[in-house]
Structure 1
Amino acid sequence: MKKEHDHTGSNLKDIILGGQDGLVNVLGIILGVAAATFQTKIIIVAGLAAAFAESISMAAVAYTSTDAALSYYNTKLKKSSLINLLKEEYENPKKSAFIVGLSAIIGSLIPLVPFFFLPVKISIIAALILSALALFIGGTIKAKLTKGNEFRSGLEMLIIGMLAALVGYLIGTLFGNLDF
Structure 2
Amino acid sequence: MSRLQQARRAYERGDVEQARQAHDTQRIRTSAVEPHQQEQGRYLAEMVYGASDGIVTTFAVVAGVTGAALSPGVVLVLGLANLLGDGFSMAAGAYLSGRSQQDYERKEREREAWEIDHFPEGEREEIREIYRAKGFEGEALEYAVRTITSDRERWIETMMREELHILPERKDPLHAALATFVAFAIGGAVPLLAFVLAGLWEGLRARSFEVAVVLTLLTMFGVGSARSLVTYKPWYRAGLEMLLVGGLAAAIAYAVGYFLGGLA
Structure 1, unaligned runs of 5 or more: none
Rg larger in 1 or in 2?
Answer: 2
Higher deviation after alignment, 160-169 or 65-74: 65-74
Whole-angstrom CA distance in 2 between matches of 1:85 and 1:138: 29
Letter in 1 for 2:195: F
Give the structure 1 partner of residue 62 of structure 2. 30
Shift of 1:73: 3.9
Matches within 5 A, 1:14-163: 14-76=46-108, 79-81=159-161, 85-88=167-170, 91-118=171-198, 119=204, 121-144=206-229, 146-163=231-248
In the alignment, is residue 174 of structure 1 matched against residue 259 of structure 2? Answer: yes
Whole-angstrom CA distance in 1 between matches of 2:83 and 2:71: 18
In 2, are the aligned partners of 1:25 and 1:108 still within 8 Å (CA)? yes
Letter in 1 for 2:215: L
**TM-score, normalised via structure 2 length:** 0.60
Higher deviation after alignment, 77-86 or 113-122: 77-86
**TM-score, normalised via structure 1 length:** 0.85
3-state SS of paired residue (2:263): coil
Equivalent of 1:165, from 246, 250, 262? 250
Shift of 1:112: 0.4
Give the structure 1 partner of residue 116 of structure 2. none
Whole-angstrom CA distance in 2 between matches of 1:37 and 1:120: 13
Whole-angstrom CA distance in 2 between matches of 1:2 and 1:70: 25
Q: Percent identity?
A: 28
Tell me the alpha carbon deviations over residues 152-171 of structure 1, each in whole angstroms, 9 at most, x when there is no partner: 11101111111111221111
Tell me the alpha carbon deviations over residues 69-117 of structure 1, each in whole angstroms, 9 at most, x when there is no partner: 33334445763347885321xx310000000011111111000010122
Tell me the alpha carbon deviations over residues 104-144 of structure 1, each in whole angstroms, 9 at most, x when there is no partner: 11111000010122355522221121111111111222224
Whole-angstrom CA distance in 1 between matches of 2:184 and 2:229: 21
Root-mean-square deviation (CA, aligned residues, Å) is 2.4
